[in-house]
Amino acid sequence: MKAGVIKEIFLFLVLVVLQVFLLDRINIFGVATPILYIYFLLKLTLGRNRFYVIITGFLLGLIIDIFMNTPGMNAAATTIIAAFREPIIKLIYTRDAYDELTPGINTDSKSFIRLSISVVLFHQTLLFIIESFTLFNIQLTLLRIVASSILTLLIIFAVDALFGKKSVISEF
C-alpha cells in the first residue's frame, strides 16, 4: 500500500473515533456541535479521483450514522459534499499545478480557508436541513448551522495548524 493511502485510512479512523466518542457529546448551548469528520474530505489531495471521493464520503457518513444512530443523515450530507467537492475546488483553486496538493493551512492558507468555509457551511446546511426536515423553526435551524459551522471551522483550523504538513508553495 502507498504511504498516502495508509495516512488516509488512519485519518479516516481517527476522525470517526473522535466524532463518535468525543465530539458528538459536545453541544454548546444546545445549538453548536462540532462536526470534525468532514475534515477528511478537506484533506484529500485536490486531484483525487471523484469516484473515490464520493465512495469514501458515503462510507464516512454511513459509519458515523451507524454509531450515532442517525438514519442516513450524515451519509446523505457527506455524499453530496463529496460529489460537489471537485466543482468547489475548481472555483477556489484556479491552477492545474495543484493536482497533487493536499490542502492545508500551512500550504495555501487563503485557499484552504475559503475551501473549508465553503465545504463546512454547505455540509452543515445540508445536515441540519435534513435533520429538522421542516422550515417551521427556521431561526433555530439557521442558528445551529452558523454556530456549528463556526465551532467546526475553529477546530479544523486548529487541528490543521497543529498537525498539518509544513510546506509552503509560492503564490504567483
DSSP collapsed to 3 states, 63-81: HHHHHHCCCCHHHHHHHHH
Structural domains in the chain, sorted by start: 3-163 (1.10.1760)
The tens place of each residue's pLDDT in the chain, 172 residues long, gives 577 788 899 999 999 999 999 998 988 998 999 999 999 999 998 888 899 999 999 999 999 999 999 989 999 999 999 999 989 988 888 766 566 778 888 877 888 999 999 999 999 999 999 998 877 888 999 999 999 999 999 999 999 999 876 544 433 3
Whether residue 32 contacts residue 151, with contact meaning beta carbons closer than 8 Å, is answered with: yes
- pLDDT number for residue 165: 63
Q: Which among 37, 44, 51, 28 has a CA at the least distance from the CA of 151?
A: 28
The grid cell for 49 is: 479521483
- pLDDT number for residue 168: 43
Amino acid at 27: N
- pLDDT number for residue 139: 92
Q: How many residues does the chain have?
A: 172
Element (H, E) at 8: helix 3-21
Return the residue matching grid coordinates 468525543.
Answer: 22
